[in-house]
Amino acid sequence: MDKHYNKGEVIGKYIIEKSLGEGRYGIAYLGIDDKGKKCVIKQLKVEELENTRKKLFYEEKILRNLDNYSGFPKFISRFEDEYREGYILEYMEGNTFQQILSKTQYEFTKEDIYEIADQLLDLIENLHNENIVHRDIRASNVIVNQRKELLLIDFGLARFIDNKRYTKKIDYWFFSDFLIHLYYSSYVGEDSEEERPWYEELDLIEEERHFLKKLMGIGDEYKNLEEIRKDLEELKKINEVNK
């Protein structure tokens, strides 16, 4: 049984402010250090520590490898007490796309989506250059800050690429799924009980449909990021012409 932290409890120089959420592997809290700076305190679940301890600390190793890049949280330190252990991460200010989609009902234009795709590809490229695959690029793990910069969080499932189980294509698939969620922000449903796949429901031109399917490996598939960027640029040009 996991012993949760309560508001006001202290871990070293960090004070627990509130719970941020709980997943399969851990419990996240918002913390404040002795200088008033926010951080994320990630308590690892006891059962998972007993069963898969090695896997739970990939996040530390991977984030340390990304220390020179912006757009990813910095690893600060580990902690351990009588009942719990885990690590402390930089807090990334901003709103997740899940919050934007669920709370504001903002409708993303195609221009918005292409700009977001460009920035997210930059982050994915930095990961892949360090031989890392994120494996969980979803709306809840992508943040946009006040400067309209994208940030990628939650590296609990990230691994080093081995071109067997952990490949770059996993991130291509998640990238496509993330973009599809943005397209759905402006979707107006029809009065029909028949369920249809996204590539039939969404108002997409053929080039967009091909782009998203190819990212998912439906039919053809992309071999590298250069191919993806080339097709994204073509979509931008088509969109400009059709405005």
> Per-residue confidence at 47, pLDDT binned at 50, 70, 90?
confident
Alpha carbon dihedral 152, 91, 76, 5, in 10-degree steps, equals -120
CA distance 138 to 178: 5
Neighbour count for residue 194 (Cβ, 10 Å): 6
What's residue 192's pLDDT?
63
Position 87: which residue type? Y
58: left (phi over 0), alpha (psi -120 to 50) or beta: alpha
Class of domain 10-90: alpha beta
Domain residue ranges in the chain: 10-90, 95-242
Whole-model pTM? 0.93
Among the residue ranges 56-60, 88-92, 137-141, 191-195, the one predicted with the least confidence is 191-195
CATH assignment of 95-242, among 1.10.510.10, 3.30.70.120, 3.40.109.10, 1.10.3720.10:
1.10.510.10
Whether the CB-CB separation of 57 and 69 falls below 8 Å is answered with no
Confidence band for 194, pLDDT divided at 50, 70 and 90 = confident
* Tokens linked to 67: 């220390």
Mean pLDDT of the 2-18 span: 94
**Same CATH topology for 10-90 and 95-242?**
no
Q: Is beta strand 14-22 parallel, antiparallel or unpaired with respect to 26-32?
A: antiparallel
Q: Which two tokens stand for residue 32?
A: 């404040």
Largest CA distance in the chain: 63
